[in-house]
Structure 1
Amino acid sequence: MKHTTIYFYLLMLLCLPILSVAQQLNSKTDSLITKDLKEKSYGTASTYYNSDIVFLGRKSPIKAPYFSTMVGYYHKSGVYASFGVSYLASPAQKRIDLSAFTVGYNHSVNSFSAGVSATKYFFNKNSYTIESALSTAINGYIDYDFDILDARIDANGYFGTTTDFISSISLNKTFYINNFTILPSVTMNIGTQNYFGNYSNNYRFMRGAPGGMGGGITNPSSMMGGTAIPLKTLNYEASITCSYSLKKFRLYFIPSYAIPLNAVLITNGTNTYTESISNSFYWSVGINYIF
């Protein structure tokens, strides 16, 4: 069993260079629209509210609710680009917290689809969300619809002060009921955890982000004594994307539940802390206009 797990992790790393020229369609809502309109060129304008930002099962010490607005253009050739801005609606701090630009390419043949994309993040210097330790993401994915279930594998590279490689395996099924679309999915994420040590040290310890422990450190990016971080199962996640179509508008509600695994050790000078992890329920609601 141990050897099988090692071989699986190695396979994920081998897939990454093949798949990861850029990042996937991050939103499940975009994925639904792409399936419906893959033979046409179209644009989208969306507004969403996210109850909290949870990244690979991890979250900041205090909630980070976001109001987000995004515009995108998807050419029938498969090339697309999108730009979004997110406003932090926390009672403690209110500001434009993030803007992001994504370019990518999707291709599908019958039941098979694949794609690559790249996203550049621009976080406010005072941002305390988990993802604020990142500056760039690249993604590649392959997806096959078996009719009974749709299976997808993603390979991601996340870049900031440190670099992380994350692979995801997702199973989902789309149900159509008149104007309603329901897409339940389950996901397992596997990869490295350098980003969390970098976030905890640079943002919580040094910069004193809300809920942080305070104090300085000798090595701001040290983690587990500076040893290499192995690949681990990071979290399991389940979600249900509920969509209602009304002409060119789509309304969405997406409840999600994340179960983080494998808490890491974080070094702060001569002290070592164990990452605090807990299960998270969070949700998103929004509206999308297709033109």
Structure 2
Amino acid sequence: MKHLGLLLLLTTFTVAANAAAEPSLFLKNTVRFAADSDTIIRKKSISVGVSYGNDAIFFGRTGPVKYPFITTDVIYNDKSGLFIYGSGLKVLGYDPLFDEIDLGGGYFYKFNKKFSGSISYTRFIFNNSARIIKSSASNDINFKNSYDWKFAKTSVVADFLFGKSHDFFLTLSQSKMIEPDWSIFSDNDYLTINPSFNVIFGTQNFVDKYSNDRFYRLNLASIYGTKGPPKDQDNGRFAVLNYYIKVPIAYNMPHYTIEAAYRYSIPVNVENMLMNKHASFFNLTFYYLFY
């Protein structure tokens, strides 16, 4: 834990120092997408997307059973760097038409060719019968900074969740964008591969809130039998929550992208009643860009 904390501290100061070296403002990434592939657009645009996932995961934690889902996204991006978005999530196999609606907005900035970032606010609105673990949160303020070293990109992301529970997260990521110089079907298409290694630090009060307030509490007998759930631990402790490797592979055309992403997750310091273990996750995303 000491070594991870030192690595996070050094990375944060390195990003800040390099940002200060070249303070010129140049907005480059002005499009927000739900997919993980880096896309560079310098025009006013609207993107519409749909995504499938084999299980809902939230800051390295999942619910007691798998919840495959689909999401739809509509995002407006302005040339200035401002963006607004709306998203709907449906857990497959259950009655509500939508389990979750997200509304938010933010701002992209770029100080130079290497350092960029964004700040955004998202409001989560859930159906009363929503089962996903994210349903214990109501608001998220997200602050992301990235530094491109050419051989890799370092990102530090801070999230502050508040509402029914209060939590703070830091996600440290090292990624490498790979773009082969050959086409697939035409001169206008190309592949991108963006593997990354990520570490999530944070508190997990949202787990305690979810465990006590959602349907999970109503199924304790069937999950644990007569033994009952494990004793609650200190969910407010800031600690490493998750290590994961993610490999998104995208097929890109000028106006649309199809992306498949694989994630291998290693949860640690799992507290409260969740019994999360090593697991694999798969997402398939399609989005279309109007500009």
Verify same fold: TM over 0.5. yes
Distance 1:115 1:84 in 2: 19
CA 1:238–1:78 in structure 2 vs 1: closer, same or farther (change >3 Å)? same
Q: Distance in 2 between matches of 1:210 and 1:176?
A: 51
- 2:80 maps to which residue? 77
Residue of structure 1 equivalent to 2:108: 106
Partner of residue 166 from structure 1, selected from 166, 169, 180: 169
State the alpha-carbon separation in 1 of the partners of residues 144 and 222 from structure 2.
Answer: 36
Whether the 8 Å contact between 1:9 and 1:231 is mirrored in structure 2 is no
Q: Is the 8 A contact 2:102 2:123 kept in 1?
A: yes
Deviation digits for residues 11-52 of structure 1, max 9, x if unmatched? 9999xxxxxxxxxx68344x622xx11x22111000111111
Q: Secondary structure at the match of 1:175?
A: coil
User: Kindly, what percent of the aligned residue pairs are identical?
Assistant: 25
Structure 1, residues 104-143: CA drift from partner, whole Å, max 9, x if none? Answer: 1011121110110011111111111111111111110110
Q: Deviations over 1:192-251 (max 9, x none)?
A: 111111111221454549976699xxxxxx943xx6722110000111111111331111
Are 1:61 and 1:210, in contact at CA under 8 Å, matched by a contact in 2?
A: no
Amino acid at match of 2:107: Y
Aligned to 1:236: 243
CA contact (8 A) 1:169 1:187 kept: yes
Please report how far the alpha carbon of residue 94 of structure 1 lies from its aligned counterpart in structure 2 after TM superposition.
Answer: 5.7
State the AA in 1 paired with 2:164. T
Correspondence 1:261-272 to 2 at 5 A: 261-264=268-271, 266=272
Closer, same or farther in 2 for the Cα pair 1:5/1:49, shift >3 Å? Answer: closer
- Residues 43-99 of structure 1: per-residue CA shift (max 9 Å, x gap): 100011111101222111111111111110111111001101111113x55631111
Matching residue of 2:203: 192
What amino acid sits opposite 2:207 in the alignment?
A: F
Superposition CA RMSD, Å:
3.0
State how far apart, in whole Å, the 1-side matches of 2:12 and 2:289 are.
37
CA contact (8 A) 1:57 1:280 kept: no
Q: How does 1:47-196 map to 2 (within 5 A)?
A: 47-90=50-93, 93=95, 95-108=97-110, 109-177=112-180, 178=183, 179-196=190-207
CA distance in 1, matches of 2:283, 2:6: 36
Give the stretch that moved more between structures: 157-166 or 136-145: 157-166
- Maintained 8 Å contact 1:123/1:132: yes
Which residue of the partner structure matches residue 213 of structure 2?
202
Pair 55,97 (structure 1): closer, same or farther in 2 beyond 3 Å: same
Aligned residue in 2 for 1:219? none
Q: TM-score, normalised by structure 1?
A: 0.80
**Is 1:285–2:273 an aligned residue pair?**
no
Residue type at the aligned position of 1:232: A
Structure 2 unpaired stretches of 5+: 14-31, 184-189
Looking at structure 1, the residues matched to 221 and 286 of structure 2 have their Cα atoms a distance apart, in angstroms, of 31
Unmatched tracts of structure 1, length 5 or more: 15-24, 216-221, 267-272
Which of the pair is proportionally richer in strand? 1
